[in-house]
Amino acid sequence: MAQVVETEKLRMTARLRQAVADGLAGLRELFNGAAQPNRRREQHTSFTGSVIVLTASGTQYHGICRDLSAGGMGALVSAPLEIGQQVRISYKHPALGKQMAFATVKQRHGYRYGFAFTDTIHKHA
């Protein structure tokens, strides 16, 4: 009887380990992006710098840019922005200096936003 119980414990442990391994593999695939193809229209460059987001009501939010392209940027901003909202973004480009861009909020995942530039105005330092 004891041997039957021990054998069943081993089988259950093996099944549990396999389920955990399968779950971790799925998470790795999700976080590494293997499940999602890159659908961006333009090449994005990793870029870290401060940004200021100004809403139409005049409210100003500070954030951190995480990636940048000619058509937009991804940024972490602690703000209650809505998808489709029009904003003005100010930031310092490493090669072009101070920049100001009008943009539309395209994506939101918590405080991670995707902005699509609608017009860019170059400012000189």
DSSP string, 3-47: HHHHHHHHHHHHHHHHHHHHHHHHHHHHHHTTTS----SS--EEE
The two structure tokens encoding residue 57: 């009501």
pTM for the structure as a whole: 0.62
| 95-115 mean pLDDT | 90
The two structure tokens encoding residue 45: 């460059």
Q: Could you confirm whether domain 45-122 is CATH 2.40.10.220?
A: yes
Give per-residue pLDDT as tens, 63-81.
Answer: 999 888 888 899 999 999 9
Dist CA 123 CA 113 (whole Å): 23
**Of the candidates 57, 58, 59, 55, the residue with the CA atom closest to the CA atom of residue 115:** 55
3-state secondary structure 62-96: EEEEEEEECCEEEEEECCCCCCCCEEEEEEEECCC
Domain ranges of the chain: 1-37, 45-122
Dist CA 92 CA 97 (whole Å): 5
Higher-confidence position of 111 and 15? 111
- Helix H or strand E segment including 59: none
Q: What percent of the chain has pLDDT over 90?
A: 34
Q: So what's the pLDDT on residue 120?
A: 66
| 44-61 mean pLDDT | 86
Higher-confidence position of 100 and 8? 100
Q: Residue 2 in 3-state DSSP?
A: helix
Give per-residue pLDDT as tens, 87-99.
Answer: 999 988 777 788 8
